[in-house]
Amino acid sequence: KDVVHVKVKKYAGYFNPESKSFAVDPHLTTFEDLQNILIQAFSLNGPFHMTYLCRDDVGDNVYLSMLTEWDLDAAFMTSSDPFLRLKLDAEPYKDGLMSKLPDWEKVESPNNFHSSLHIYSISSVNSILSLQQTPRSLSNSLGSAFNKLTVGLGYNHYVEEEAIFFPSKPPLDDAEFRSYLDEDGRLMKPEDLRLRVYHGGVTPALRKVVWRMLLNIFPIHLTGRERIAYMKRKTNEYEQLRAKWQARADLERVKQISNMIWKDVLRTDRSHKYYSGPDDNPHMVALMNILTTYALTHPKVSYCQGMSDLVSPILVVMNNEAQAYICFCGAMLRLKENFSRDGVAMSTKFKHLAMLTAHYDEDFFKYLQNLGADTMFFCYRWILLELKREFNFEDAITVLEASNMLVMWSSLPPQPPEHDLPLYDHVDTHCFSDLSTSNTSSPVENAPGFNSTTESEASIDCVGVIEYSACPENVLRLRKAPLSAKSSAGSPPKASDSFLTQESTHNLPPPEELGCGNPFLLFVCLTLLLDEREKLMATHCEYDDLVMHFDRLVRGHSPRKVLSKSMKLFAEYLRSE
Amino acid sequence: MSYAYLFKYIIIGDTGVGKSCLLLQFTDKRFQPVHDLTIGVEFGARMITIDGRQIKLQIWDTAGQESFRSITRSYYRGAAGALLVYDITRRDTFNHLTTWLEDARQHSSSNMVIMLIGNKSDLEARREVKKEEGEAFAREHGLIFMETSAKTAANVEEAFINTAKEIYEKIQEGVFDINNEANGIKLGPQHSPASGGAGGNRPRQSSDGGGCC
């Protein structure tokens, strides 16, 4: 065994037990190391007593004391797969709590383990591995490694047993964010920032600034001052675009689109306090303005249902209509293909998700096939809205919900616009040209760096030009790939009717093609599916039962758990590539 | 739960006419004034009884916006019943019925039973489409018609159940081939053992058998 996964439950007095898990290298970890890990992880400051679960000769599960190096070795050898289970009594001398609760932990059967997540902190394993080379700094490295570990763990008190993979780091804060900027505020390594966010999210106060960067709205190498000026100029540009259609609100097309959008805005996240209250809530008006401006200035995309769900969280975070519009334009460079009528992007994504499912869980995929669900159409909303509705979005954006989207976005390589992010597409003759020609000094002509459609289309192509890899520490690496990758990435294969061939489930598409440029999303979808597979396969159900089962889970998934598992699967996939 | 037959329904019509609210009223007996926008297709199911036989209605609630039609069309195939819904307070939703109907007829089995529904009948003051217009449209196109209110629940049960009755009658008359699932009808699990080999093309026999208990 090279890695032993450890699950620890700490009992102290009558408090609820606290659980943590991590992984260690059994060849390098001494009894003292383990004690240190536990002291740090649970902030212990007194004596404690450890027991470990092992199976005795008769096959019964019993907890034995762990007091010496020998005990630890025995524990490593006999550790019940997939975990070495430890119990820790932090108040061993207080009137025999353990004797009072003879049955205080029900030993789960290995079958139950099977469906639980096997998440561990790889960084701690690596830190321990690195000790081999520098034995002298042992205690120091240990200290810092476990500091990292415990910061990750202590990040939230109700941390689940499994949840260490995400967040593997605390949320990015202002001070650390500064370290990604040079003295003038230029973002030095956009990839690094993304990876950092991928592993831990950002603190709420910083979300506004970081979302703007993740959504690729700034040309590269802008200084802090230049970014501020850029936002001002873009805000102004947006306000002019909006003023134009508002001045022509009598036009049939403007009326028709804005009415259609309003109907949907009335039904978008109304349970969220930002959009609650009477129907003329200014935030709803802002939502409508953003969508109407986008639809009228991007006639090829126009408006489609689902867009309001995508703008909504952006508006909540930006809390500024113009800035939210700019960010939405950035997001739509990548997302607009989902709304295209030919459905090519969506069907490719369905197909890829089917391939992934077949690849990772053949039995479950066969089960889906029997139900006629192997087209994965039932995951339509997941993919169209990038899972926005599958996670909770109550009471302001919770840290978790926001990090869900953040993490998703940060898994994508940076694609900053060459010069300026276009806020409008080629303006069509039907309605808006008529608006724009009515004013000769329109921003359409004046916008610097604007090259009509060709530029925005070029940036779409760029979305495919990415390269992922997993480095040894099991973390994601993003790279811009050479342009040669472009041709294959730009033209996704057409989904065929005979859905999957044997071969296609063995050879998954490379990351730059998988999911048409957002491979991580599909891994999160896969996790949502696999999380329910036991429950579903245990019952006799039909296609509608399956779909209704997932519909009932809307907004109910635990992002932390789901992200942890998805990241693990994603890292494994990248390593195998 | 066991059932004699499963009927697959689809609900179609313009966005915002109240398709999801009708479904919710029928399956959960409640009204939610602000309902999440339907993306793609959502589902509901309920058991009803016709002539003493359990029938499971499996209802596919589709998104109304045109951009989803490429996906919702694939759901038409294999539906035994369709509820085509318009909003009596919005004339445009009535005007679009022809398009919806053409679409449904083109992509579904010719035996599909279509019920035309004028929803929001509680909003009498804002009515833009007269009841007679709905009736005339239904007559002209051979549909059953009803005005409903998902809010007050008026006629909601009836709309779903009357559609089922019509399908049931077609089964009894041998119009539907119940062994072809593309027709949107499935024999329930209780059927096969009870009717011993009625898996053949004899729907009438098996239903007679059930009727006598």
Residue in chain A nearest B64 by alpha carbon: A305
pLDDT recorded at residue A114: 31
Using CA atoms, how far apart are residues B190 and B5, in angstroms rounded to an integer?
Answer: 9
pLDDT digits (tens, 9 = 90+) for B151-206: 999 999 999 999 999 999 999 998 888 777 778 888 887 554 444 333 333 333 33
Q: Give ranges for CATH 1.10.8.270 in chain A.
A: 224-339
pLDDT level of residue B131 (50, 70, 90 thresholds): very high
- Selected from 2.60.40.10, 3.40.50.280, 1.10.8.270, 3.40.50.720, the CATH number assigned to the domain covering A224-339 reads 1.10.8.270
Per-residue burial over A157-170, b = 16 or more CB atoms within 10 Å of its CB, e = otherwise: eebbbbbbbbbbbb
- List for chain B the helix, strand, coil content (%; round to 5): 40, 25, 35
- Number of C-beta neighbours around residue A96 at 10 A: 9
CA distance B143 to chain A (A): 26
Q: Which amino acid is at A519?
A: P
| A274-277: Cβ within 8 A, 24+ apart | A274/A315, A274/A316, A274/A396, A275/A312
Provide CB contacts within 8 A for A104, sequence distance 6+.
A11, A98
CA-wise closest residue to A27 among A132, A146, A136, A149: A132
pLDDT recorded at residue A258: 94
CA distance A547 to chain B (A): 7
The answer to whether residues A254 and A245 touch, using CB atoms and an 8 Å cutoff, is yes
pLDDT recorded at residue A254: 94
Q: Is B146 on the interface with A (CB under 8 A)?
A: no
Using CA atoms, how far apart are residues A525 and A518, in angstroms rounded to an integer?
Answer: 12
pLDDT digits (tens, 9 = 90+) for A242-260: 999 999 989 999 999 999 9
pLDDT recorded at residue B59: 93
Least confident of A104-108, A293-297, B99-103: A104-108
pLDDT digits (tens, 9 = 90+) for A389-431: 777 654 334 434 444 566 777 777 778 888 888 898 865 545 5
Using CA atoms, how far apart are residues B186 and B6, in angstroms rounded to an integer?
Answer: 5
CA distance A390 to chain B (A): 12
CATH class entry, domain A4-90: alpha beta
Element (H, E) at B42: strand B41-50
pLDDT level of residue A453 (50, 70, 90 thresholds): very low
pLDDT digits (tens, 9 = 90+) for A531-542: 999 999 988 788
Do B70 and A385 count as a contact with CB atoms less than 8 A apart?
A: no
CA distance A308 to chain B (A): 9
- What is the pLDDT averaged over residues A363-379? 91
Do A308 and B39 count as a contact with CB atoms less than 8 A apart?
A: no
pLDDT level of residue A341 (50, 70, 90 thresholds): confident
CATH class entry, domain A344-421+502-576: mainly alpha
Judged against a pLDDT cut of 50, whether residue A317 lies above it is answered with: yes
ipTM, two decimals? 0.81
The answer to whether residues A160 and A153 touch, using CB atoms and an 8 Å cutoff, is no
Nearest to A548 among B37, B38, B45 (CB): B45
pLDDT level of residue A233 (50, 70, 90 thresholds): very high
Contacts of B46 in chain A (CB under 8 A): none
Residue in the structure block whose two tokens are 């459609």: A453
pLDDT level of residue A71 (50, 70, 90 thresholds): confident
Give B 20-49 residues with CB within 8 A of chain A.
34-45
Give A 330-359 residues with CB within 8 A of chain B.
339, 341, 343, 346
Q: Which of B21, B34, B72, B187 to mutate to test the interface with A (most CBs of A within 10 A)?
A: B34
The answer to whether residues A73 and A79 touch, using CB atoms and an 8 Å cutoff, is no
Q: How far is CA A266 from the centre of its chain?
A: 28
Q: Give ranges for CATH 3.10.20.90 in chain A.
A: 4-90
**Packing angle of the helix pair A138-154, A31-41 (nearest 10 deg):** 40
Residue in chain A nearest B14 by alpha carbon: A260
Domains of chain B are 5-187 (3.40.50.300)
Locate the DSSP E strands across A534-576.
none
The chain-wide mean pLDDT, for chain B, equals: 85
Q: What are phi and psi of A62, to 5 degrees?
A: -135, 155
pLDDT digits (tens, 9 = 90+) for B29-61: 999 888 888 888 888 899 999 999 999 999 999
Q: In whole angstroms, how far apart are CA A184 and each of A84, A229, A269, A398?
A: 50, 14, 39, 32
Give A 379-398 residues with CB within 8 A of chain B.
380-381, 384-385, 389
pLDDT, greater one: A309 or A120 = A309
The chain-wide mean pLDDT, for chain A, equals: 73
The answer to whether residues B60 and B75 touch, using CB atoms and an 8 Å cutoff, is yes
Using CA atoms, how far apart are residues B190 and A420, in angstroms rounded to an integer?
Answer: 65
pLDDT recorded at residue A229: 96
Judged against a pLDDT cut of 80, whether residue A134 lies above it is answered with: no
Residue in chain A nearest B72 by alpha carbon: A377
Q: Is A272 on the interface with B (CB under 8 A)?
A: no
Contacts of A544 in chain B (CB under 8 A): 43, 45, 58, 60
pLDDT recorded at residue A555: 75
Q: Is A542 on the interface with B (CB under 8 A)?
A: yes
pLDDT digits (tens, 9 = 90+) for A20-60: 888 888 887 888 888 888 888 887 877 788 888 877 666 67
The answer to whether residues B115 and B84 touch, using CB atoms and an 8 Å cutoff, is yes
- Number of C-beta neighbours around residue A318 at 10 A: 21
DSSP A501-521: -HHHHHSPPPTTTGGGG-HHH
